[in-house]
Amino acid sequence: MDGPSEKKEKVVKEKVVKEKVAKEKGATSGTGGKKKKDVKKETGLGLSVKKDENFGEWYSEVCKHEMIEYYDISGCYILRPWSMAIWEIMHAFFDAELKKMKVKNCYFPLFVSPGALERETDHIEGFAPEVAWVTKSGKSDLEVPLAIRPTSETVMYPYFSKWIRGHRDLPLKLNQWCNVVRWEFSNPTPFIRSREFLWQEGHTAFATKEEADEEVLQVLELYRRIYEEYLAVPIVKGMKSENEKFAGGLYTTSIEAFIPNTGRGVQGATSHCLGQNFAKMFEINYENEKGETAMVWQNSWAYTTRTIGVMIMTHGDDKGLILPPKIAPVQVVVIPVPYKDANTQGIFDACIATVSALSEAGIRAEEDLRDNYSPGWKYSNWEMKGVPLRIEIGPRDLENDQVRTVRRDNGVKEDIPRGGLVEHVKELLVKIQENMFEVAKQKREACVEVIKTWDEFSNALKEKKLILAPWCDEKEVEIDVKGRTKGETGAAKTLCSPFEQPELPEGTLCFASGKPAKKWTYWGRSY
């Protein structure tokens, strides 16, 4: 999701960029458009490009391996079962946490009437070019065209106004899991930037600002947990600048990830305090304990299927995807390795028994007994799909009552007695999860550059760094930096001002304006 300042640029782009529906099929933004070798396509074995050599093409190939399918409408993608299962695991975690917070699920319609949409002019203005409209049914024009929700403030808040009457109706905490449509014009990229995507959107109303403030951070912490504990992607929590916050709200907090290969930041999720702006527009008032009319304080927050793209970009390697165990639809794949004269049935039985034992212990395990593929082909195929742990069972393993485990994250192989296998696998999955997070964190840390001057900033940007800079926190200065860094690969902007601020010595100056610095802020190009 872009910040509001990107929207205007896009309106201009919209005029010059013709849609390349057919051409784009199969291509990712900014890639060399290299043709894949037909052999690889047919067998599904291996990738034709390396992550470091052509990141865009690499990403596209990894996604196409059972995660997504390109569609005949530009910017729209099919989520295949392998990626949908990942989304469902995140959904299950987050939904259970929402229930603990007493947030209720609901569902509002997909269509927005022009009246409702335009009731709230301020924030919609910049976004208007991205709103898609339905204008016909069959061959007849609709009397009133209908917008397809790009977000649901204007859909929901008239009903907040209706449902909230007295202080006993507060807090009102609603969430919906749904799709939204934003007609983007630049660089569609699977999961990262698509015209339709899945998300959860939370919308809440409170009697006091304190309650709203507290919830903003409570939700942001859940988003951190999705990224760090589930997707094993390190993030920074912080505050968006005035220029990058949601224009309709009071303040925006976010979590920001970083992709070392492209040197781009990526907004992972946002949690906004809307203040009383929407309450004013939609007349969301209530009678307080003293019998007076008061206005509610509101929040809204969302995370999207973009999470999956960030995870793929962070962990994948030249063999394909690497899935953190906590979100892997299959955590362990068990593959028989029969030889000509071996006891094939015995090996198959051992595979089935291993999967049952693991499944009973709550591990997502699957055997691959297909007889039309060789073990080697299966290894590559499951490696491409990112399954965190492979178990091989061959004649020698059967004889020794053991199995061989092979880790996807670091390739380490071990022979394990079948006796203590379940416990051992449990431990291995925890270790893989931890290791993936640590490796990703180290890679990100290696990209962070603390700078003090414009020259250092410029150099760090060229070197694809995640820049931490002292800043005066003035909107005009951020706009100026964007103007000065505009290039083919996009301008640099603030990502967030981290909540954990390093010490800012007295007299530190802003790298861009030379005025006294107020805070440390992360800067970079971004998705």
Q: Taking a C-beta distance cutoff of 8 angstroms, is the pair 47, 381 a contact?
A: no
Cβ closest to ligand 87F, residue 131 vs residue 236? 131
Distance in Å, CB of 236 to ligand 87F, minimum? 18
Longest Cα pair distance anywhere in the chain, in angstroms?
A: 87
User: What tokens appear for 186 in the block?
Assistant: 């630049």
* Binding span for ligand 87F by CB under 6 A among 227-235, 297-305, 384-392, 463-471: 297-305
Question: Does residue 302 interact with ligand 87F by CB under 6 A?
Answer: yes
Question: Does residue 127 interact with ligand 87F by CB under 6 A?
Answer: yes
* Tokens 């049914």 sit on residue: 137
Question: Does residue 301 interact with ligand 87F by CB under 6 A?
Answer: yes
Question: Does residue 275 interact with ligand 87F by CB under 6 A?
Answer: no
Cβ closest to ligand 87F, residue 121 vs residue 374? 121
* Binding span for ligand 87F by CB under 6 A among 16-24, 148-156, 326-334, 430-438: 148-156
Distance in Å, CB of 24 to ligand 87F, minimum? 21
The set of residues, in sequence order, having a beta carbon less than 8 Å from that of 315 and lying 6+ positions away, is 232, 233, 321, 322, 323, 324, 386, 436, 440
User: What tokens appear for 442 in the block?
Assistant: 């180290």
Cβ closest to ligand 87F, residue 270 vs residue 494? 270
Cβ closest to ligand 87F, residue 300 vs residue 526? 300
Question: Does residue 75 interact with ligand 87F by CB under 6 A?
Answer: no
Euclidean distance between CA atoms 3 and 433, whole angstroms: 32
Size of the site for ligand 87F (CB under 6 A): 16
Interacting positions 195-224 with ligand 87F (CB under 6 A): 201
Q: Residue 117 class from Cβ within 10 Å (0-12 exposed, 13-18 middle, 19+ buried)?
A: buried
Euclidean distance between CA atoms 56 and 25, whole angstroms: 14
* Binding span for ligand 87F by CB under 6 A among 17-25, 127-135, 357-365, 476-484: 127-135
Distance in Å, CB of 212 to ligand 87F, minimum? 14
Question: Does residue 300 interact with ligand 87F by CB under 6 A?
Answer: yes
Q: Taking a C-beta distance cutoff of 8 angstroms, is the pair 206, 171 a contact?
A: yes
User: DSSP string spanning 360-400?
Assistant: HTT--EEE---SSS-HHHHHHHHHHTT-SEEEEE-HHHHHH
Question: Does residue 246 interact with ligand 87F by CB under 6 A?
Answer: yes
* Binding span for ligand 87F by CB under 6 A among 189-197, 296-304, 308-316, 515-523: 296-304
Please state whether 283 falls in left (phi above 0), alpha (psi between -120 and 50) or beta: left
3-state secondary structure of 214: helix
Question: Does residue 270 interact with ligand 87F by CB under 6 A?
Answer: yes
Within 107-177, where are the H helices? 114-118, 121-127, 153-163
Question: Does residue 304 interact with ligand 87F by CB under 6 A?
Answer: no
Give contact residues for ligand 87F (rule: CB under 6 A). 123-124, 127, 130-131, 150-151, 153, 182, 201, 246, 270, 272, 300-302
